[in-house]
Amino acid sequence: MRKLLTAALAGLVLALPLAAFAPPDEIQKQMTQRVQESKRKLAAAQAAAGAERQKLMQEHMKLMQEIMAQMRTAKPREGLTPQQMREWIDEHMKLMDQMMGQMMDEHHMMMQGTGK
């Protein structure tokens, strides 16, 4: 009985650090996919010219607006440990940073297109 209890406790001790690491929640996973999609749209727009470029830029901007709206309403799920909350916030900040990078790339591309 004592060996069983020791083995169970050892398993629990080994499993706890893994349980404390929370992968991005489903909403963050979806936002990450959408951010990657918008990045591909921006790259396609950079490679295009004329009306096609304008169309892709509009699609990119619309997608960015949708992602930003989703990010503004995103909230961590209930019952997270402080470590899990920190990880959620870090993931959210990473997504925000990616969005800001795309906005800067978009801005630079638009400025080049105006001849400035």
pLDDT in tens, 21-66: 556 688 889 999 999 999 999 999 999 999 999 999 999 999 999 9
pLDDT > 90: what percent of the chain?
Answer: 59
pLDDT of 7 > 90? The answer is no
Quote the pLDDT of residue 57.
Answer: 92
This prediction's pTM: 0.68
Quote the pLDDT of residue 97.
Answer: 94
Residue indicated by tokens 């909350």: 85
Q: What are the angstrom distances between the C-alpha of 49 and each of 38, 53, 55, 93?
A: 18, 5, 10, 33
pLDDT of 94 > 70? The answer is yes
Quote the pLDDT of residue 101.
Answer: 93
Mean pLDDT score across all residues of the chain: 82
pLDDT of 3 > 70? The answer is no
Nearest to 34 by CA among 107, 105, 95, 110: 95
